[in-house]
Amino acid sequence: MPESRHNPVLAGQTAVITGGASGIGKSIVQRFLEAGANCLAADLNEEALAALKQELAEYGERLDVVKVDVSDRGAVEGMVVDRAVQTFGQMDIIVNNAGIMDNLLPIAEMDDDVWERLMKVNLNSVMYGTRKAVRYFLERGQGGVIINTASLSGLCAGRGGCAYTASKFAVVGLTKNVAFMYADTGIRCNAICPGNTQTNIGVGMRQPSERGMAKATTGYAGATRSGTPEEISAAALFLASDQAGFINGETLTIDGGWSA
């Protein structure tokens, strides 16, 4: 098992990353392993998890993977947080990152099931993971780090559909409330807010709303380019590290200046 030689800022720590098999989550897993942490990658996509384990085989048992549907409370509590503690003896960092998009649906085109699915996967999952982590951190009495992947759509409208935007605004609200409520316990809770990033998230989006697409792309002329997962995971590493020890309840926008 290679120890981190270049950037051991997370040496000896254990991190849980949901949605860790692909895109931004995968890059966070890789970066945290490089920084010396043990990682549990939790994801719905079993095939992608197996590929991840293979790709990152050099880290051996420092990387654990588990198939989980993060919209299932019991699974998040038992198979993610409890499992990490059982496997590695502790959990220091949780990144609630798994998420899905709607089809850029404005409210008039949105059915109840789209709303409910988005809330379950993008918001309930973050609540389950954060609550379980806070309870664990309080019991352990040594603080801990929570990072929630929100979005630019959690800060301003017009970049996503109604359900996606509402779910991400709620993630930001949850993040800030947790930070405020537990600021005196050594628990830090922050959100990363990526702009358009090159991942698989849009791949399943077969029929984006015409209205939603037109609105979402308004302003892209001013964007230099899309971000890469590595550019997003760099921000997650910073927030996870002691370098960010006094940063709590923040939203970190990573969009190359698009929303500036």
Active-site annotation, residues:
164
Closest approach of ligand NAI to the CB of residue 43, in Å: 5
Q: Which residues bind ligand NAI (CB under 6 A)?
A: 18-19, 21-25, 43-45, 48, 68-71, 97-100, 121, 149, 151, 194, 196-197, 199-201
Q: Select 161 or 249, whichever has its Cβ closest to ligand NAI.
A: 161
Cβ pair 242, 219 in contact under 8 A: no
Closest approach of ligand NAI to the CB of residue 226, in Å: 7
Give the β-pairing of 38-43 and 63-67: parallel
Q: Select 36 or 93, whichever has its Cβ closest to ligand NAI.
A: 93
Distance CA 240, CA 73 (A): 24
Residue 89's Cβ-count burial label (10 Å; 0-12, 13-18, 19+) is exposed
Q: Select 13 or 199, whichever has its Cβ closest to ligand NAI.
A: 199
- Tell me 252's DSSP state: E
For 118, list phi and psi in degrees, rounded to 5: -65, -40
Q: Select 194 or 249, whichever has its Cβ closest to ligand NAI.
A: 194
Q: Which amino acid is residue 76, in one-letter code?
A: V
| Structure tokens, 80 | 């993610």
3-state secondary structure of 41: strand
Among left, alpha and beta (phi > 0; psi -120 to 50; other), residue 186 is left
Distance CA 3, CA 15 (A): 16
| Structure tokens, 143 | 């603080």
Closest approach of ligand NAI to the CB of residue 169, in Å: 12
Closest approach of ligand NAI to the CB of residue 147, in Å: 11
Cβ pair 155, 172 in contact under 8 A: yes
Pure H helices in 35-82? 46-55, 73-74
Q: Select 62 or 168, whichever has its Cβ closest to ligand NAI.
A: 168
Closest approach of ligand NAI to the CB of residue 249, in Å: 19
